[in-house]
Structure formats: structure tokens, C-alpha cells
């Protein structure tokens, strides 16, 4: 048996486990527990581990068993778990988390003993093709790449590329994002040959200078109700295009996230994170 906790942040849901022994095959375990018909059901598996670089270490696995470098909603859920379990030893106001994309810092805001807000320092966006990574099939003279044309099922999409520790391609639409055929085009964009490590694909529509609506196709997971790093990627791309201010509310199907970027440094992500339920999983031998 292994104890687990189910959490969600703006509808982006995760199964979290602690595993000091590091004895599990996490890829296989993720495929089992994330299955929505035969498992617990989740957009990803979070593994809490000890760290020599930070207060904690977090590994993230997609439902297909692949490991993700970064996960903004996952970090907030991770922080919620650590706080509610009383695992914070050094500071009640913040903690550091080692991820595959680097060390991330989270600040905690409380009213009395209640945790009311989690703000995560998501790192600085990266724009060079090799940093995303993307392999353009034609010369690219300007960095950041904001309008790279691809054709998918006869539809031309102008994509912007950015890494938030994981790769993102952002498409801005003039139509409501709910009208975009994400279920059919999402997997095809994810697997385009120009993306050597596949891609997270966001479709966005700017509502005003302070609000953007977004839907997401996540690499290794499919359509999710929210994506923290995706919301960051969209906000960065929108600001570079001159569409929005430095602080933006991103409206996703599962809820709202707040993104802040000064145009040069790190991106900050704030949003909800809640425990849904706890349980025990029978590990098959």
C-alpha cells in the first residue's frame, strides 16, 4: 500500500505521494494512478522527495509516464500539501523546491493560520530556439520568435515559442478559445517534427489589457482545465506583442490564475490549490 493525496489547482489535478525510498517505477505508477477509468484519475503524478539543493524536491510525471520539467499548478499543490502536513521546518513564509527545471521559490500568504495565497517564482522565460527547444525548418532572424507559421490540417497557425522550464507554443486567436478545435489539432501540434521534445500548446484570446482567456493541450496529458506554466507562457508572449500589462489574469476552463512579469526577469504565478481527498493505493506486484 502507498498513501496518496489528490489535489487540484484551478482544475489541474494531481496525485501526490511521498517516497523517501525512491523504490517505485514512477513512470509505470503514473500511468496507473492517473488513468481516469481504472485509476484515481489525474493530470499528473507529483513525487515528494528529499533535496540537497532546496527544502524539498518535486518530480512530475504525465499520465503517459513521461517526466515533465516544470509544472506551475503542480508546485502550488505541492506547497499546499507541505503546508497542511506541517512539513515546513525553516520558514513559515516561503520555501524552495528543486525541480527538473531548476530550483523554484514559493511565497506563502496567510490570514491567521489559514493559507490564503501561494505565489511561485517560475523562473525567467527563455526564447532561443535551442532553449525552447524548437528546430525551425526555415531561417529565423528575430528572437523571440513570435509569429512562426505552421500548417496543421490545412489551417495556418502563427506560433510564438517560449520555455518556462518546459516548452510552449502559443497561438493567439480572435475567436473565443472554446471554438478552437483543440482536441483534434492539439495532438498534431504537440508532435510536429520541429519540436524534438514535443510541445505544450496554448490557444489564447486577449480580452483586454488585464485579462486573457486560454485553453491548453499539455504534452503527455492532453486537454487540461488549467496549466500554470502555460498561463505564464501566454502572458509573456502577450506582453511581448504589446497586448497586455505587466500583471494579467488568465482565465482557464478550471479557474483563474494571476501572472506577473516585469518584461525582463522572472515570472510570478499565483492561484488556488486545494486538497481533494486522501487514500491508499494497492501496488500491484
d(CA 245, CA 179): 26
Cell of 239: 506582453
Establish whether 71 is a catalytic residue.
Answer: yes
Using an 8 Å Cβ cutoff, are 270 and 281 in contact? no
d(C-alpha 270, C-alpha 92), whole Å:
18
Are 95 and 105 in contact by the 8 Å Cβ rule? The answer is: yes
| Cell numbers found for residue 100 | 527538473
Radius of gyration of the chain (CA): 18
Active site residue 232: no
Taking residue 279's Cβ as centre, other Cβ atoms within 10 Å add up to 12
Residue 65 gets the label, from left (phi > 0), alpha (psi -120 to 50) or beta, of: left
List, in order, residues 6 or more apart from 61 with CB less than 8 Å away. Answer: 26, 27, 29, 30, 44, 45, 47, 67, 68
Say which of 34, 77, 227, 232 is annotated catalytic. 227
The catalytic position among 34, 71, 77, 232 is: 71
3-state helix, strand, coil in the chain (%, to 5): 15, 40, 40
Q: Rounded to the nearest 5°, which phi and psi values hold at 184?
A: -95, -40
Rounded Cα–Cα distance for residues 236 and 227 (Å): 14
How many angstroms separate the CA atoms of 136 and 140, rounded? 7
Catalytic positions: 71, 227
Amino acid at each position: 500500500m502507498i498513501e496518496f493525496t489528490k489535489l487540484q489547482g484551478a482544475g489541474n489535478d494531481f496525485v501526490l505521494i511521498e517516497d523517501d525510498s525512491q523504490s517505485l517505477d514512477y513512470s509505470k505508477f503514473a500511468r496507473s494512478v492517473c488513468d481516469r477509468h481504472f485509476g484515481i484519475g489525474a493530470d499528473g503524478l507529483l513525487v515528494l522527495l528529499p533535496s540537497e539543493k532546496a527544502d524539498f524536491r518535486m518530480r512530475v510525471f504525465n499520465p503517459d509516464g513521461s517526466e515533465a520539467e516544470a509544472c506551475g499548478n503542480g508546485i502550488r499543490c505541492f506547497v499546499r500539501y507541505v503546508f497542511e502536513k506541517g512539513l515546513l521546518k525553516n520558514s513559515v513564509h516561503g520555501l524552495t523546491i528543486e525541480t527538473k527545471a531548476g530550483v523554484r521559490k514559493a511565497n506563502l500568504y496567510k490570514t491567521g493560520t489559514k493559507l490564503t495565497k501561494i505565489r511561485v517564482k517560475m523562473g525567467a522565460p527563455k526564447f532561443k530556439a535551442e532553449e525552447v527547444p524548437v528546430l525551425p525548418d526555415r531561417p529565423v532572424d528575430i528572437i523571440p520568435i513570435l509569429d512562426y507559421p505552421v500548417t496543421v490540417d490545412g489551417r495556418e497557425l502563427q506560433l510564438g515559442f517560449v520555455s518556462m522550464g518546459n516548452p510552449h507554443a502559443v497561438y493567439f486567436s480572435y475567436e473565443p478559445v472554446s471554438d478552437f478545435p483543440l482536441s483534434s489539432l492539439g495532438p498534431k501540434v504537440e508532435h510536429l517534427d520541429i519540436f524534438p521534445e514535443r510541445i505544450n500548446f496554448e490557444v489564447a484570446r486577449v480580452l483586454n489589457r488585464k485579462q486573457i482567456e486560454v485553453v491548453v493541450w499539455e504534452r503527455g496529458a492532453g486537454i487540461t482545465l488549467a496549466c500554470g506554466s502555460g498561463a505564464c507562457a501566454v502572458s509573456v508572449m502577450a506582453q511581448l506583442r504589446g497586448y497586455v500589462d505587466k500583471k494579467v489574469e488568465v482565465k482557464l476552463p478550471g479557474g483563474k490564475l494571476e501572472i506577473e512579469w516585469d518584461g525582463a526577469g522572472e515570472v510570478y504565478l499565483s492561484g488556488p490549490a486545494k486538497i481533494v481527498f486522501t487514500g491508499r493505493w494497492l501496488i500491484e506486484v
